[in-house]
Amino acid sequence: MTAEKSGADILVEALSDLGVEVVFGYPGGAVLPIYDAIFKQKRIKHILVRHEQAATHAAEGYARSTGKPGVVLVTSGPGATNAVTGITDALMDSIPMVVITGQVATHLIGSDAFQEADTIGITRHCTKHNYLVKSPERLGEVIHEAFHIATSGRPGPVVIDIPKDVQVATAKYRKPAAIQHKTYRPALKAEQSLIEAAVEMLAAAERPIFYTGGGVINSGPAAAQLLRELAKITGAPVTSTLMGLGAFPASSDQWLGMLGMHGTYEANFAMNQADLIIALGSRFDDRVTGRLDAFAPHAKKIHIDIDRSSVNKTVAVDLPIIADVGRAMEDMIRVWKARQHRKNDLSAWWSRIEGWRAKKCLDFPASAKEIMPQQAIRSLWEATKHVNPIITTEVGQHQMWAAQHFHFEQPNKWLTSGGLGTMGYGLPAAIGAQLGNPNALVIDIAGEASIQMNIQELGTATQYRLPVKLFILNNEYMGMVRQWQQLTYSSRYSESYSDALPDFVKLAEAYGWTGIRIEGQQELEPGIRQMLDTPGPVLVDCRVAKLANCFPMIPSGASHTEMILQSDDVSGEMDDEAKALV
Amino acid sequence: MHIKEEKKERHTLAVIVDNEAGVLARIAGLFTARGYNIESLTVTDISDDDLISRITIVTSASAPVMDQIIAQLERLVPVHKVVDLTILGPHVERELALVKVAGTGDHRIEALRLAEVYRARVVDATISSFVFEVTGTSDKIDKFVELMGEVGLVEVARTGIVAISRGKEAA
């Protein structure tokens, strides 16, 4: 007979049974029993962050870079509400995450007790699922089910709210057998007839394009390999969303770069002119489609996605296939080969694409003195590409420049907040990624505004001796806001100047980091070298041109073919329809 | 600038769910969060062991949005299945109302006469009031309530719509 254990011990044992190695958290009154159980064991490592939001982003960074679920432990009330931004971020970007929140004792629920919040109510619509566990007997089963839901199908965050008395009360725990949920059964395998139809459409297409997304990365490293093979046997060009970067190697001739609002000219024009779009684990986000009624007007569309609600949500498709994208690609390759299809002659299509490529849309104006932010990213890439670094970002211009100018060869190397666009994501995500990949080079490419949203996490990296590198493109503006104000509101820079900035080098030193300032062209490459050669965590305050804009760009409410390039005159005022769209 | 409205159609959905805490909030919240509307919603447990509930939702949406509503509902973990009865084919929709009418003399007699026409039953009576129980389609109840307005309507309680498909098969 197994002895009874406290809810807190059941939690720790269940996490251990599930293979959890790292938990990101912050203690507080309603989770003290759990922290005591953690104190008494050695299997699970707890990483103490400085703010609960950072715990969630660190868990996301860990999950995105390792493929394993990220686990978060926070207290009730403010602990839980602080975690909400990261939980929502994980929902939008389909990141597997389990968040354990403490709750006041069951008899106090609803009494406005100290540090009580309706965590289940607050997180109901920003989680894939959530649980309030009212008895320790249910706890083990709920934890296993929560991990199953978070990691299978379209991954996402799951919250488990555990009242303090349930953490103390005892029950028996036995590791459950494989979970067969009574209602939750994500479809994994596509119907054969649909796969065959997709292959025939692909074989007949004259101007096909693969439009891939984060789903290819979520499907696992094998899916990225299958994408390479599918591209190879069909000869079709490949573009990707922000979330999907790395699934297809940027060094390939077939790679067109990212598409969408700040995507390349060739990717957006190819989408506009294609006769067949094969959407793989991507969701036709508004940042990708631009104006919907002008989106890909000539193309038939195949959409392979594991989430049926992603299909026909904003763009009507001709052939929806609900399946795991890796499995579907595997099936497509098999059918393609079995039917002895050969690569279509796509030379006319490719010659048009070459014409668009010749625009060299990512070129930017040179400056003799100032560092152009695009140049800073390119130099960082040149200096680090041989080690395949993991790159995280914050949100804004620097994020788009990184997506455009840093090139990825492998999946799970690019961690960014896509759907929610959360400033403050990058530093904690880098911490999580470094923990999951102790030997990797992890760099957070940041802006001076975003980084201040979770700057306190410098302390976390110091405490755990994590050698993350923080590369701040400092232009003294919330650059993307300023750019939009220049384009849309006649350069009325309302509240977008980053005034009263700290001395980032001194700040780094205060936290036990090395701080480096890079000013002027001649310091760029030596500064990057110094950052890479310095052991331990390093912050770089890279002063860049203040008013540089991120181009190319599809302005608000415009179509793929109405891209603004670097050379275009952009300042002005937009009409109300355009202002309302974004 | 003005915001455009799109053309909508009325649909009746049957949603079979696990009868667990918060499931109704999950579904109602999904509708508000995604901007879908609810015209009527009824929910009650339908199994012996209190484990399964049936929710009947009447909503209006364009065809693509309707498809989204169903996909979003099916994605919720405690949802067993979603049936669009309007698309499925012939089905029966019923609603029950309790209607309180107060009055004396001619009004009282007229109320009773109309109740008979509408097959409403008297479930409570005092010297100066009746409570009628009336069952039928929402249109019929609307009409009955409207008529009662002429003869001393005091208060109305309605259940909202429940619906089931015609024929021998389960939906």
CB contact under 8 Å between A576 and B1, yes or no, is: yes
Q: How far is the C-alpha of A338 from the C-alpha of A326, rounded, in Å?
A: 18
Q: Tally A–B CB contacts below 8 A.
A: 43
Q: What is the DSSP string of A391-449?
A: EEE-SSHHHHHHHHHS--SSTT-EE---SS--TT-HHHHHHHHHHH-TTS-EEEEEETT
pLDDT computed for residue A473 by the predictor: 98
Report the half-sphere exposure of B165 (CA within 13 A, side-chain side).
14
| Active-site residue, from A243, A400, A453, A480 | A480
- Please say whether the beta carbons of A415 and A391 come within 8 A: yes
- Compute the residue count for chain A: 582
Q: Which residues pair with A414 in a beta bridge?
A: A391
Please count the other Cβ atoms lying within 10 Å of the Cβ belonging to residue B143: 14
CA distance A114 to A133: 19
Answer yes or no: do B67 and A312 touch at CB < 8 A: yes
The count of other CB atoms within 10 Å of the CB of residue A227 is: 27
| Residue indicated by tokens 């159609």 | B9
Dist CA A472 CA A380 (whole Å): 12
Q: Which of B1, B29, B77 sits opposite A125 (nearest CB)?
A: B29
Catalytic residue from among A41, A45, A114, A409 = A114
Residues 6+ apart with CB under 8 A from A261: A287, A288, A290, A553, A554
* Ordered domains of chain B (ranges, CATH): 9-88 (3.30.70.260), 91-165 (3.30.70.1150)
DSSP single-letter state for residue B116: H
A316/B79 CB distance under 8 A? no
Burial class (CB in 10 A: 0-12, 13-18, 19+), B124: exposed
CA distance B78 to chain A (A): 6
Task: Say how far apart CA A101 and CA A76 lie, in whole Å.
Answer: 6
Q: Which residues of B touch A (CB under 8 A)?
A: 1, 18, 21-22, 25-26, 29-30, 33, 64, 67-68, 71-72, 74-75, 77-80
pLDDT of residue B55: 97
- Using CA atoms, how far residue B143 sits from A106, A496, A575, B23, B147, in Å, is 48, 59, 48, 34, 6
8 Å CB contact of B30 and A125: yes
Whole-number pLDDT of residue A569 = 62
Query: Is A469 among the catalytic positions?
Result: no
Contact A323, A306 (CB under 8 A): yes
| A114 noted as active-site residue | yes
Q: Rounded distance, CA A315 to CA B112, Å?
A: 56
- Residue A296 contacts by C-beta under 8 Å, 6 or more apart in sequence? A271, A272, A274, A277, A315, A560
The active-site residue out of A128, A164, A301, A469 is A164
- Report the C-alpha gap between A61 and A457 in whole angstroms: 14
Instruction: Report the residue count for chain B.
Output: 171
Domains of chain A: 5-171 (3.40.50.970), 192-357 (3.40.50.1220), 373-550 (3.40.50.970)
Q: Which residues of B touch A576 (CB under 8 A)?
A: 1
- Determine the pLDDT at residue A582: 59
Structure tokens at B77: 């973990």
Taking the C-alpha atoms of residue A420 and residue A89, their distance in angstroms, rounded to an integer, is 5
- Residues 6 or more apart whose CB falls under 8 angstroms from that of A349 comprise A206, A207, A208, A237
Residue ranges of chain A with per-residue pLDDT less than 50: none
User: How far is the CA of B164 from the CAs of A15, A432, B9, B31, B86, in angstroms?
Assistant: 44, 51, 19, 22, 10
Q: What distance in Å separates the CA atoms of residue A457 and residue A109, rounded to the nearest whole number?
A: 32
What pLDDT score does A551 carry? 95
Q: Which helix (H) or strand (E) holds A277?
A: strand A276-280
Query: What pTM did the predictor assign?
Result: 0.95
Q: What is the pLDDT of residues B117-156, one digit of tens each?
A: 999 999 999 999 999 999 999 999 999 999 999 999 999 9
pLDDT-derived band of residue B14, with 50, 70 and 90 as boundaries?
Answer: very high
Q: Which residues of A touch B (CB under 8 A)?
A: 120-121, 124-125, 128-129, 132, 149, 181-184, 307-309, 311-313, 316, 576-577, 580
The C-alpha angle with vertex A163 and arms to A158 and A169, in degrees rounded to 5, equals 120
What pLDDT was estimated at residue A239?
Answer: 98
Which of A52, A60, A394, A457 is flagged as catalytic? A52
- CB distance A325 to A216 below 8 Å: yes
Whether residue A552 is preceded by a cis peptide bond, meaning omega within 30 degrees of 0, is yes
